[in-house]
Copies of this chain bind each other. A is one copy, B any other.
Amino acid sequence: MEPLSNETRERLRAVSTATLSTLLFKRGLRNTWLHAVRRMSAAKRNMVGEAFTLRNIPCREDLDQVSAFENPDHPQRKAFDTVPAGHVLVIDCRADTRAASGGGILTTRLQVRGAAGLVSDGCLRDSDEIGAMDFPVYCAGPASPLNLSRHHAVDFNVPIACGGVAVYPGDVVAGDADGVVIIPRHLAEEVAREALPMEEFERFVTAEVQRGQPLIGTYPPTPEVRARYTEWMKKQG
């Protein structure tokens, strides 16, 4: 799989997840937004990057003791040490909100590696520290308990579920204030190309609505309104 082009990356970063999910909906994909996952970090810029995944199953008391981290191949630690620059680490916690799937130290590691973000359908600890970071982080909320109290990291870079959505390694992960959307890798380029014009048109619609035009006839537009849009575009330059 070729890396995502910088052009596509930039285009995706310039648009909203609302627009992206609509473009995926038009292609028949209705389940692309991660349920119950919200922005924790202060980073207000949009997040875009390829998915690098980490999978958890429920913990078992005899296996999941603090000593487990002494294993130099512990999948959680290894995943955080391995995620490539420009990628988003996406963690499958089975939407269990009773423990953290990481904290300040692990998030810092991602930031230092040049990762594009962190997404989990579980919780995170050190939420105050993460909340202040200029690094995109999305999760189910804060929680104090360490991952081992609910989770057993089992493997990484395999297809996972996150927030009720399938995430395949290499899929493009986009995040903004509305949450996180997963774009199947093979659709990323075409969706990126269509998104900017669509948002441009919506800026026109917003202006029309602000000056009192009704939704019906404007959104979607009648041929007359479409013509006015062409005019408007010219004026905008």
Q: Residues of A at under 8 Å CB distance from B? A: 16-18, 20-22, 25-33, 35-36, 38, 57-62, 66, 69-70, 72, 74, 77-78, 80-81, 94, 97-100, 103-106, 108-109, 112, 125-128, 131, 141-146, 148-149, 152, 154-155, 158-161, 164-167, 176-179, 181, 184, 202, 205-206, 209-210, 212, 214-217, 219-220
Complex: A149 Cα to B25 Cα, angstroms: 7
Contact of A127 among B60, B152, B177, B217 (CB under 8 A): B177
Contact A108:B206 (CB < 8 A) given known A69-B219, A125-B18, A126-B18: yes
Name the distance in Å between A165's Cβ and chain B's nearest Cβ: 6
Q: Is the CB–CB distance between A166 and B152 below 8 Å?
A: yes
Contact A31:B58 (CB < 8 A) given known A81-B216, A109-B215, A146-B25: yes
Given contact pairs A57-B166, A154-B159, enumerate 14 new A-B contacts (beta carbons under 8 Å).
A16-B125, A17-B144, A25-B66, A25-B146, A29-B62, A30-B61, A30-B145, A62-B184, A69-B219, A80-B215, A104-B206, A128-B178, A152-B159, A152-B166
Could you name 24 residue pairs across A and B whose Cβ atoms are closer than 8 Å?
A22-B146, A25-B145, A25-B148, A27-B62, A29-B61, A31-B59, A31-B149, A36-B97, A57-B159, A58-B166, A72-B217, A74-B216, A77-B215, A78-B216, A80-B215, A94-B161, A100-B178, A105-B205, A105-B209, A109-B215, A127-B178, A128-B178, A143-B178, A154-B159
Contact A177:B128 (CB < 8 A) given known A66-B22, A72-B216, A144-B18: yes
Contact A146:B21 (CB < 8 A) given known A206-B104, A209-B112: yes
Pick from A33, A144, A167 the residue with the most CB of B within 10 Å. A144
Closest B residue to A164 by beta carbon equals B58
Chain A residues touching B, majority SS: mixed
Q: Is the CB–CB distance between B154 and A69 below 8 Å?
A: no
B residues near A36, Cβ cutoff 8 Å: 97
Contact A69:B220 (CB < 8 A) given known A30-B149, A60-B184: yes
Pick from A32, A146, A176, A216 the residue with the most CB of B within 10 Å. A216
B residues near A26, Cβ cutoff 8 Å: 66
Q: Is the CB–CB distance between B109 and A209 below 8 Å?
A: yes
